[in-house]
Amino acid sequence: MTEALKDNSKVAHLSIKDCPNLTNEGLTHLLEMIMDNNMIIFQIDVEDFKYDHEIIDRLKEYSALNYDIQQKLIPKKRYFT
């Protein structure tokens, strides 16, 4: 999965639910790949209860940070009177 994502630097939504072979090690590798490639990702859906909470929190924090940055870059509409 991470090899396919390396060529796609902008992902709006990544859902990794119902992946029976996904492990904490795989999630850690995904997080490292996203951070190393400076990948832009806005939302990650994963089943929180199955995996290490620290890894899940870092993935969600990273995607939330990207979303907040993008929202601040949207030009504000200005109304002239």
pLDDT at residue number 24: 92
The model's pTM: 0.66
Mean pLDDT of the chain: 77
List, in order, residues 6 or more apart from 44 with CB less than 8 Å away: 13, 14, 15, 16, 59, 60, 63
Question: Residue 33 corresponds to which tokens in the numbers above?
Answer: 């790949």
- Which whole number is the average pLDDT over 37-52? 79
pLDDT at residue number 58: 85
Q: How many angstroms separate the CA atoms of 43 and 81, rounded?
A: 38
Residue in the block written with tokens 């119902």: 18
Residue with the larger pLDDT of the pair 7 and 54: 54
pLDDT, tens only, 8-30: 667 777 888 888 888 999 889 88
